[in-house]
Structure 1
């Protein structure tokens, strides 16, 4: 599947591909660090309300020095190369972003962490509020929602946003499936939820590997869209690791329910 790319008429700040790649990598680290610091502040202050200003800062961290509109909503329309989806008009961006954040807030206690993070991932891509950097901003927003809802900065260095960047095809398919459902009048991010569940399992397995010095067979968990037979094979091959993952998930749920 071809990579999706925003197409908007904006000045190019960095023309050299090598310099651009280096700046993107540097910004990705800065964005992640700021995002996790923000989650830690929320947890300390017992306040995980998502605000428009936070979203704009998240985008600015990713696109500073790359996009002249870094930290600002796009002023006009935008097309997405590689996708049939038509984002909302520039004048409607702010309204739809507020509605997205309201949905997360209203459903904070009623919905699971995986659902809320999946919704944020899809909806921000659907709105496409920025001239560029929508994907990387949506993936980090989604991860922030997941961490905040679980009330912890999740362990593991191969994070969910990084896993998506390694292979975007399943992620694109999940976005398109949610787009199609929304055209029919329903919010259905179940495909994205399945991806998120497996991305989370991958991230937690890494912690177990480091702790015990073993390694999970890479073909068992690497593909996010894992079929049932793949999961059964994983359980049979690595019962201790799977049990550890289940224990971690149960601990997270127990902490949340007792809060």
Structure 2
């Protein structure tokens, strides 16, 4: 395994561990991962059937709850205090600012829903939710699945193919971290929203996902 594939950035908050055995915790995280994915697919299908969607904090909180149920005492809730991100220079905002900033993020997506591309909105959510870092744990998992939901609904389809964008990021995290850092720097320097590097990454990962689907049904890629 390449060194960049082992790279991780973990949140560290003052929180007692509900599961101390690493094997039991890994098993719980795997189970919850399937539950979170199923909840995401349900949200996508419901929105597509209704023909309308607005990103709301309640959806984000619910998805984080699925990921951290039985693992964190703060599952489904914003963090009550500060949090640090190991391996990152970014310092998340104070806990008292989290609810308003999450609402602002949702407003940005909803206000730009028609005028922006699916890739841009997904990239924005991926970065902004990580930047806010609203949870004691599960921020990366939740940001990736919310981004995927926004991308799918805005594109008007349940995206086919595996591995999905989220799976590809987990398999090789370094380009994802680099894209987050680039957006952080732009925002820190002059308050500018520039998620172009994340857009490029998501576009590439989406192309991979769709190409795998194309090959799975008998298609042959050129070259």
Tell me the TM-score normalized by structure 2.
Answer: 0.95
The reply on whether 1:190 has 2:196 as its aligned counterpart is yes
Q: Residue by residue, what CA displacement relative to the aligned partner does 1:55-91 show, whole Å, maximum 9, x if unpaired?
A: 1001001111111100000011111110010101000
Q: Residue by residue, what CA displacement relative to the aligned partner does 1:155-212 show, whole Å, maximum 9, x if unpaired?
A: 1131111000001000000000000000122100000000000100110011111111
Q: CA RMSD in A?
A: 1.1
Partner of 2:36: 31
CA distance in 2, matches of 1:7, 1:30: 24
CA distance in 1, matches of 2:155, 2:137: 29
Higher relative contact order (CA 8 A, sep 6+): 2
The reply on whether 1:52 has 2:57 as its aligned counterpart is yes
Cα deviation for residue 213 of structure 1 reads 6.9
The reply on whether 1:162 has 2:180 as its aligned counterpart is no
User: Which ranges of structure 2 fall in alignment gaps of 5 or more residues?
Assistant: none
CA distance in 2, matches of 1:110, 1:33: 29
CA distance in 1, matches of 2:52, 2:17: 38
User: Which ranges of structure 1 fall in alignment gaps of 5 or more residues?
Assistant: 217-234, 238-259
Residue pairs, 1:21-100, within 5 angstroms: 21-100=26-105
Question: Which of 178, 198, 206 is equivalent to 1:173?
Answer: 178
Contact 1:73 1:129 in 2 (8 A): yes
CA distance in 1, matches of 2:136, 2:100: 17
Tell me the TM-score normalized by structure 1.
Answer: 0.82
Contact 1:39 1:48 in 2 (8 A): no
CA distance in 2, matches of 1:208, 1:66: 38
Question: Which of 15, 18, 34 is equivalent to 1:13?
Answer: 18
Q: What is the aligned length?
A: 217
Larger Rg: 1
- Displaced runs of 4+ in structure 1, greater than 2 A? none
Q: Residue by residue, what CA displacement relative to the aligned partner does 1:8-51 show, whole Å, maximum 9, x if unpaired?
A: 01010111111111111111111011111111111111221111
SS in 2 for 1:148: helix
Question: Which of 153, 156, 176 is equivalent to 1:151?
Answer: 156
Cα deviation for residue 101 of structure 1 reads 0.3
Partner of 1:244: none
